[in-house]
Structure 1
């Protein structure tokens, strides 16, 4: 505390505002770094993990639709338009699946997923070779070709397709685990950012309050004591004490006030003593004049009673008057010298008051510089508040991206639901096909040997319908997985959006704390302005004391002039006494 009181006002305010500015910059930097980390993690989640998962699910859907088209070709007439539509659907789904796979490969950022690329592409090539054999057998449009295609669909093609889908399932699981890890990392980063911002915000507010209290107390209290002391001196209470001992501008002001009052008290005491001595000497001169008048009266009486007796008595009176006049002249000389010394001391006091007035003006200039420093600190604090507003805007943009991803996931869920409805229709068709195949088998059995070949075909159709129902069930399960993944991703996006909302709230709180710091800086600036005003008032008080000293100096000059005139009068009295002595001597010689 002593070190704080002994430092200059400008240095105190500069250090305080610099510390607050550094705290604001640190808070803004921590917020920006945290938002950048959170943005990178969310960017990886939104632009890599979730799109990768969506591409895998869409590619899986395309492959299932390709299988449906492939199996539907078995029952289609190559000459019918629906056959060409199924061929087109087959090629379109194959192209879409390949395109989405290539996009997925470009997004993958983990080595575990990359290691499965070769396995998937090998199994896909094996399945595509079998699938092409199925299509070729169907396009041959012969009973043998269709039977071969049917056998491949129910056997080798199905096995190859399932092996390929196993790899897709593994990739989907890896992608979901990666997304979950990124989500957990984003949550941990958000918690760390929250803790750091809360700690720094609380510390900054406490530091601002502490610095404001310390600096204000170190300036306002001693300055208030100085003002009270100067007011007491102005009211004439010169015995008042000023207990301010510090080495800053206020301390120098207090030291100047104490020195001024001490000098003023000493000079007033000297002036009072000189005036009392002058009064005593004037009284003695008045008595001497009265004695001279009495002697003159006695001389007149002596002239009537007898010149010799009167002359003798007047001689003694003249002797007494001459001695008294000599002594009175000496005392008047001493009083004159005292009045001159008093005038000199009053001049020294006036010089000291001018020096103190210069010190007060220096304090006022320092206070003005401190006010400018406070204005600069307020500007920097407002700049820090602008940085925090930019952080809030960045967080809002990240939140908008999160909401856009959430909408995409919702649309993906809707697509999955529409596929589920299509699969329900396919399942119903397969069920009806199974019933028709059973009816056909019954009718073929009734036809005997003529319907045996048709019975074989009906049995194959029934088996194909059962396989179609089984495949439809598997596709339904896959679609259910897609929907579950979409819901999980949507929940993750909701959590990320909530986290972004919390970060936005914290950033807003940081902005509010900065605004409070700006208010504290403005309060300190107002107090510094009050100090400058008080210093100007102190300067006015010093000028008033200077005018009082000028009056005292004038009184001392008048006293010196009066003492001079008194000395002149005593000198004339001494001359008259000497002349009277000569007259008496002549009278004695004549008598």
Structure 2
């Protein structure tokens, strides 16, 4: 009997961690939205008496551009693909499915991306009037419930992840029970093999030289019984490790 392969369990744990990381990535949209508005405000309202130098303003522009890029990436992930190839396809597909089931949330993400891009375009054009309008539109949309939409979207992903995790735990428990029954049967067979080995050894001793062949068979049976016992113990250890990983994963 081969050792229980725990690779599939490790893959499941890795996928679960990747999905959690994806949810965290989406949740940071709230902070990124605030950050975009903050640095757009810096660019729109220079210090009244000590205007910032161009190097400082270039740094602010870079931060605002970073928020634009992050929002663009997020909206692409919602369609099922990570342009940076950091999230596995299966995770992107999972997020895409959730997004399709919550179209209003998907529209909210896209709207915030567009508003952020509008601010960046106004900055690049050095048009303070357009930047002021874009900034106010961005802030107004944020105040209109966008942050709660992000929270609800992430909560939905967490709920789905928890349910899936629960189903995986139940399936793992059912598999462990089935394997335990098989191991119990294997251990029962091992006991009988040891008994046969003992009886063969006794019979071989009783008949002397004529029982040498029987003695060899007895040794073989003893070795087989020990191997069965070792495999059973090893398999139970594997099951115990899987159960521990399921509880803590």
1:478-506 CA-to-partner distances (Å, cap 9, x unmatched) read xxxxxxxxxxxxxx847258xxxxxxxxx
1:11-60 CA-to-partner distances (Å, cap 9, x unmatched) read xxxxxxxxxxxxxxxxx35xx4xx33x652x2343121221122221232
SS at match of 1:155: helix
SS at match of 2:43: coil
Structure 1: runs of 5+ lacking an equivalent = 1-27, 224-249, 251-362, 403-491, 498-591
Kept after mapping to 1: 8 A contact 2:118/2:134? yes
Q: TM-score, normalised by structure 2?
A: 0.65
Query: Could you tell me which residue of structure 1 aligns to residue 90 of structure 2?
Result: 107
1:372 Cα deviation (Å)? Answer: 1.9
1:178 Cα deviation (Å)? Answer: 1.0
Query: Could you tell me which residue of structure 1 aligns to residue 33 of structure 2?
Result: 67
Query: Could you tell me which residue of structure 2 aligns to residue 90 of structure 1?
Result: 67
Query: Could you tell me which residue of structure 2 aligns to residue 130 of structure 1?
Result: 115
Alignment counterpart, residue 207 of structure 1, candidates 187, 192, 198:
192
Q: Does 1:47 align with 2:14?
A: yes
Alignment counterpart, residue 364 of structure 1, candidates 209, 212, 215:
209
Structure 2: runs of 5+ lacking an equivalent = 45-53
Distance 1:151 1:87, change over 3 A: closer
Alignment counterpart, residue 130 of structure 2, candidates 145, 157, 182:
145
Kept after mapping to 2: 8 A contact 1:126/1:160? no
Measured in 1, the distance between the counterparts of 2:215 and 2:201 equals 13
Q: CA RMSD, aligned part only?
A: 4.3
1:266-312 CA-to-partner distances (Å, cap 9, x unmatched) read xxxxxxxxxxxxxxxxxxxxxxxxxxxxxxxxxxxxxxxxxxxxxxx
Query: Could you tell me which residue of structure 2 aligns to residue 484 of structure 1?
Result: none
Distance 1:189 1:39, change over 3 A: farther
1:416-461 CA-to-partner distances (Å, cap 9, x unmatched) read xxxxxxxxxxxxxxxxxxxxxxxxxxxxxxxxxxxxxxxxxxxxxx
Measured in 1, the distance between the counterparts of 2:110 and 2:144 equals 13
Query: Could you tell me which residue of structure 2 aligns to residue 190 of structure 1?
Result: 176
1:116 Cα deviation (Å)? Answer: 2.6
1:369 Cα deviation (Å)? Answer: 1.0
1:70 Cα deviation (Å)? Answer: 1.3
Q: How many residues align?
A: 227
SS at match of 2:42: coil
1:72 Cα deviation (Å)? Answer: 0.8
Kept after mapping to 1: 8 A contact 2:197/2:222? no
Measured in 2, the distance between the counterparts of 1:213 and 1:109 equals 60
Measured in 2, the distance between the counterparts of 1:139 and 1:382 equals 77
Kept after mapping to 1: 8 A contact 2:37/2:138? yes
Q: Does 1:376 align with 2:220?
A: yes
Whose helix fraction is larger, Structure 1's or Structure 2's? 1
Query: Could you tell me which residue of structure 2 aligns to residue 307 of structure 1?
Result: none
1:96 Cα deviation (Å)? Answer: 6.1
Kept after mapping to 2: 8 A contact 1:134/1:152? no
Distance 1:216 1:375, change over 3 A: closer
Measured in 2, the distance between the counterparts of 1:76 and 1:109 equals 35
Kept after mapping to 1: 8 A contact 2:23/2:154? yes
Query: Could you tell me which residue of structure 2 aligns to residue 176 of structure 1?
Result: 162
1:158 Cα deviation (Å)? Answer: 4.9
1:171 Cα deviation (Å)? Answer: 2.3
